């Protein structure tokens, strides 16, 4: 069973804003092998012909960090496992399991580095949902997770007794409502202190409700604050779409390249005009540019970058993790990507930006903007590394100092988000 550790309930916020305040599940121990004899694996609605009862331990992490995967499927003719490790889900690489006499299949993977890894069984070509499975925002696959012990995994699992609080709310945003999640640090509701604010615009369907399920954002914040690696801060996570929108569709936040330039810029500016004033009014923020930052992942991250770059009087720090700059309207140019993963295609991954056209959107970002921090990161094994290099050249030509990191071995997924965020947070509000 998963252990649940709940963040404090933000009761005082009810007097200030009309929002829903819920508890935040911080995963103390990542999913342990199921021991329910009635638990079943199923095919996620794909119409498979079998159901299988899993053994008590679908995975076991060995002392040397190898991982043994086991599933009982006596009627199956072929069983495979794929996971988030290099060459795993994004690369479409699968590892075959060997069948035992009792119908139990097993294989060993690794050793794996300390981290949180997701995995999925494929039984006779059918993607089988683990008992605790849920769909990944990037791949659409139903996966489960496990932790390989060590310092790296510890950053993303609940370690500290002190928990922040999470508030869900929304504001009018263009022709709809913008939903967002507000993380307040431990002790917020027990003091009158004011805090700096980081706005995050996340891609791949990473709204605030999934921030700790996939990227473990709240756990990371709790742990880094407890260890004094970062200053206590308020973090606002904007949903990537309006209600009813799709993660890469024509929404009121980012258009996936489908909006007009006017609407796209209007949506970026609405973050500044609608969300920021609401947060400053409703929470105890340090409401000045020196204590306000914006960053994000993928296409929404690039639009958040636009919001910050066009308003250097309001944001002293901006960042992007694998920013999908080719989705800016009229900017993307089709290319033959040097890196290709069949499961990952899109207007940000298969194109690069025309830097002259991109620069016309953000004339404010120059040597006179007096930015405290411009941060960029990208995975070494994702197509957006080409856009990343163009952005570095662009900033050099503009005379803008920046902090750029290539995350070795990373791809365009949730792991990339949390690794980039861990590098970004300590640079803020110094």
- Are residues 316 and 280 part of one domain? yes
Query: Quick check: is 18 in a domain?
Result: no
Under 8 Å between Cβ of 135 and 199: no
Give the CATH number of the domain where residue 95 resides: 2.60.40.10
Q: For helices 261-270 and 298-309, what crossing angle results, to 10°?
A: 80
- Are residues 176 and 267 part of one domain? yes
Query: Quick check: is 313 in a domain?
Result: yes
Query: Quick check: is 154 in a domain?
Result: no
- Are residues 308 and 270 part of one domain? yes
Higher per-residue confidence, 350 vs 212: 350
Higher per-residue confidence, 399 vs 203: 399
- Are residues 227 and 94 part of one domain? no
Average pLDDT over residues 133-161: 71
For residues 375 and 295, give the distance between their C-alpha atoms in angstroms, rounded to a whole number.
8
Average pLDDT over residues 190-194: 96
pLDDT value of residue 60: 92
- The yes-or-no verdict on residue 390 having pLDDT over 80 is yes
Q: Please, which residues have CB within 8 angstroms of residue 84's CB and are 6 or more apart in sequence?
A: 90, 117, 118, 119, 143, 413, 415
**What is the tally of structural domains in the chain?**
2
Query: Quick check: is 132 in a domain?
Result: yes
pLDDT tens digits, one per residue of 396-420: 999 999 999 998 877 777 778 888 9
pLDDT value of residue 274: 92
pLDDT value of residue 248: 31
- Are residues 292 and 405 part of one domain? yes
- Are residues 190 and 66 part of one domain? no
pLDDT value of residue 425: 97
**Burial (0-12, 13-18, 19+ Cβ within 10 Å), 248:** buried
Query: Quick check: is 404 in a domain?
Result: yes
Under 8 Å between Cβ of 116 and 157: yes
Average pLDDT over residues 116-131: 79
Query: Quick check: is 29 in a domain?
Result: no
Residue 244, H or E segment: none
Higher per-residue confidence, 50 vs 246: 50
- Are residues 304 and 178 part of one domain? yes
Average pLDDT over residues 99-107: 92
- Are residues 283 and 412 part of one domain? yes
- The yes-or-no verdict on residue 191 having pLDDT over 60 is yes
pLDDT tens digits, one per residue of 150-176: 888 888 888 877 889 998 888 888 777
pLDDT value of residue 48: 40
- The yes-or-no verdict on residue 19 having pLDDT over 50 is no
- The yes-or-no verdict on residue 256 having pLDDT over 50 is no
pLDDT value of residue 242: 42
Q: Please, which residues have CB within 8 angstroms of residue 414's CB and are 6 or more apart in sequence?
A: 136, 137, 138, 204, 206, 214, 215
For residues 313 and 307, give the distance between their C-alpha atoms in angstroms, rounded to a whole number.
11
- Are residues 348 and 279 part of one domain? yes
- Mean pLDDT in the chain? 76
Host domain of residue 113: 59-149
- Are residues 378 and 255 part of one domain? yes
For residues 286 and 186, give the distance between their C-alpha atoms in angstroms, rounded to a whole number.
17
Average pLDDT over residues 248-264: 50
Query: Quick check: is 178 in a domain?
Result: yes
Write down which residue in 84, 114, 149 finishes a domain. 149
Least confident of 8-22, 231-245, 252-266: 8-22
- The yes-or-no verdict on residue 249 having pLDDT over 60 is no
Describe the chain by its helix, strand, coil percentages, rounded to 5: 25, 30, 45
Write down which residue in 119, 149, 179 finishes a domain. 149
- Are residues 207 and 95 part of one domain? no
Give the CATH number of the domain where residue 370 resides: 3.40.50.1820
Query: Quick check: is 158 in a domain?
Result: no
pLDDT value of residue 4: 32
Write down which residue in 89, 117, 149 finishes a domain. 149
- Are residues 321 and 199 part of one domain? yes
Which pair of tokens denotes residue 402?
Answer: 């920046």
Under 8 Å between Cβ of 365 and 400: yes
Look-up of token digits 């891609």: 203
pLDDT value of residue 212: 55
**How remote is the C-alpha of 314 from its chain's centroid?**
25
């Amino acid at each position: 069973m998963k252990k649940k550790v709940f963040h404090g309930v933000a009761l005082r916020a009810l007097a200030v804003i009309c929002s829903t305040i819920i508890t935040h599940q911080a995963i103390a121990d990542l999913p342990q092998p199921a021991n329910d004899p009635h638990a079943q694996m199923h095919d996620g609605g794909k119409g498979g012909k079998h159901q299988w009862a899993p053994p008590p331990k679908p995975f076991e992490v060995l002392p040397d960090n190898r991982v043994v995967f086991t599933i009982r499927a006596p009627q199956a003719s072929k069983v495979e496992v794929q996971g988030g490790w290099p060459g795993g889900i994004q690369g479409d690489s699968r590892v075959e399991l060997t069948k035992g006499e009792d119908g139990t299949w097993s294989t060993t993977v690794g050793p794996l580095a300390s981290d949180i890894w997701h995995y999925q069984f494929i039984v006779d070509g059918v993607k089988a949902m683990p008992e605790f499975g849920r769909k990944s925002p990037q791949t659409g696959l139903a996966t489960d997770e496990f932790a390989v012990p060590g310092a790296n995994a510890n950053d993303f699992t609940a370690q500290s007794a002190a928990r922040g609080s999470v508030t869900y709310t929304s504001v009018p945003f263009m022709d709809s409502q913008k939903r967002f999640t507000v993380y307040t640090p431990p002790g917020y509701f027990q003091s009158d202190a004011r805090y700096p604010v980081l706005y995050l615009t996340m891609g791949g369907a990473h709204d605030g409700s999934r921030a700790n399920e996939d990227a473990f954002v709240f756990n990371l914040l709790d742990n880094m604050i407890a260890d004094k690696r970062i200053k206590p801060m308020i973090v606002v996570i904007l949903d990537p779409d309006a209600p009813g929108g799709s993660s890469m569709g024509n929404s009121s936040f980012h258009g996936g390249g489908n909006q007009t330039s006017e609407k796209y810029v209007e949506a970026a500016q609405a973050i500044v005009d609608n969300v920021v004033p609401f947060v400053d009014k409703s929470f105890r923020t340090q409401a000045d540019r020196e204590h306000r930052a914006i960053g994000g992942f993928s296409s929404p991250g690039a639009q958040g970058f636009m919001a910050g770059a066009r308003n250097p009087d309001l944001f002293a720090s901006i960042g992007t993790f694998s920013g999908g700059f080719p989705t800016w309207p009229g900017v993307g140019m089709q290319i033959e990507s040097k890196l290709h993963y069949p499961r990952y295609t899109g207007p940000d991954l298969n194109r690069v930006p025309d830097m002259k056209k991109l620069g016309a959107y953000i004339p404010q970002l120059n040597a006179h903007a007096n930015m405290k921090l411009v941060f960029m990161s990208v995975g070494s094994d994702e197509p957006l590394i080409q856009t990343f290099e163009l952005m570095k050249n662009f900033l050099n030509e503009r005379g803008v100092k920046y902090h750029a990191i290539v995350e070795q071995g990373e791809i365009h997924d949730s792991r990339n988000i949390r690794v980039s965020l861990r590098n970004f947070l300590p640079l803020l509000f110094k």
